[in-house]
Amino acid sequence: MKKIKLSYLLLSFITTLSILFIGFYSYQYVYFTKPLNEYINQNLDISSEDVIIDHKEKNITISLKTNSLKKHYNDIQNVIDRYYNSDQYKIIIKDNRNQQLETTYNKISFDLYEAIETKQYTKFDDIIDNASIPNSINIEMDEKYIYLNIKNGEHYLYELLPRHEMIG
């Protein structure tokens, strides 16, 4: 029986491992990342440079500038459901906030959460009226979230507030 040289064994091990890693990352790119980016580019008017998919942390970060956060978020959620297990991935909407928007959000957050907890959603109009100058505030709602969009010039802040207590 011939002895196998250690150098051949090591070379075959490294080659096999390299092929497996390249295959795994190619598979992720071809079957998940590329189709998701293409769909978002074509249908949601968001450039692929604005979409960052982190498979390790299970995050999908999207830079967005929109007047309808609810529509875009739901569209993005539907696309992600098509290509990923959306229960495993978290969507992070990146905004362009400044200190003034943060201050406005902090001032109205207590009133927002109180309206959500007491289910008095008609108070949103009063909250908007009291805090909208000099900002533009838009609040949208569906069965899962309250979508808050505050704008001031080139800066904008997005927040998704759960309508119901999230368990888990």
More confident residue, 51 or 103: 103
Distance CA 102, CA 168 (A): 27
pLDDT at 43: 67
* Listed range (18-27, 114-123, 132-141, 147-156) with the worst mean pLDDT: 132-141
pLDDT at 168: 43
Instruction: Extract the runs of DSSP E, i.e. beta strands, from 3-154.
Output: 51-54, 59-63, 90-94, 136-141, 145-152
Distance CA 152, CA 98 (A): 9
Is it the case that residue 5 has pLDDT exceeding 50? yes
pLDDT at 163: 82
Instruction: Extract the runs of DSSP E, i.e. beta strands, from the chain.
Output: 51-54, 59-63, 90-94, 136-141, 145-152, 155-162
Residue type for position 159: E
Q: Three-state SS for 156?
A: strand
Contact 32, 83 (CB under 8 A): yes
pLDDT at 48: 61
Residue 167's pLDDT band, with cuts at 50, 70 and 90, is very low
pLDDT at 56: 80
Give the single-character DSSP code of 29: I
Task: Over range 93-122, report the average pLDDT.
Answer: 88
Task: Over range 132-150, report the average pLDDT.
Answer: 86
pLDDT at 131: 76
Task: Over range 128-151, report the average pLDDT.
Answer: 85
Q: pLDDT tens across 65-89, in order?
A: 777 888 888 888 887 887 777 677 8
More confident residue, 131 or 121: 121
Is it the case that residue 57 has pLDDT exceeding 50? yes
Cis omega (within 30 of 0) for bond into 134? yes
Q: Average per-residue pLDDT in the chain? A: 82
Contact 36, 80 (CB under 8 A): yes
